[in-house]
Amino acid sequence: MANSSIILVPKYAKLGKGFTTKEVVKSFEHPGRQTNPSKGYQSPAFYLDDLGALKKCILLCNVCRAKWNPRTHHYRAMYVADVSGKTDGYSSNGWCDACKEFTANVGGGKAFVHEEEYAKICIDPKIARRNARAAWGEHHAYDIIVKEGDR
């Protein structure tokens, strides 16, 4: 063709529409620490300070956790009672805020919550343990009553 020109064809029938659910959900995802020098590189320490100033949750892998002290930044390890007993309740996985690796591949991750936000999000491990023991005791007493009722 002598008069050829570039014809741009949109990926979908209507521009801005027709995105799959997966693509829409992916767009909500925070890109994390900026590592592109042309867009303003953020060092891991700078990024963690930034998150700390905003009192946001910080997720670190096993390697990066050793380099960051939560107590000096008024942070506390996030605890979610695991009923299944597979984890100790402190483990959480995702993309590490410092090295951007998937924490499950780097020895497991741990999330940290600011002390001011801790009571809103987490249950204190001591209270969780007390509740679990009380629940187990109730269940045990219930079993005895059921067994005696069968006689």
Of 57, 80, 81, 99, which one interacts with Zn ion (CB under 5 A)? 99
Closest distance between Zn ion and the C-beta of residue 59, in Å?
9
Closest distance between Zn ion and the C-beta of residue 114, in Å?
19
By the rule CB under 5 A, 128 interacts with Zn ion: no
Contact set for Zn ion, span 54-73 (CB under 5 A): 61, 64
Closest distance between Zn ion and the C-beta of residue 5, in Å?
49
Closest distance between Zn ion and the C-beta of residue 27, in Å?
24
By the rule CB under 5 A, 96 interacts with Zn ion: yes
Distance CA 83, CA 106 (A): 25
**Smaller CB distance to Zn ion: residue 56 or 128?**
56
Which window, 17-25, 75-83, 99-107, 116-124, contacts Zn ion (CB under 5 A)?
99-107
Distance CA 106, CA 94 (A): 11
By the rule CB under 5 A, 35 interacts with Zn ion: no
Site residues (vs Zn ion, CB under 5 A):
61, 64, 96, 98-99
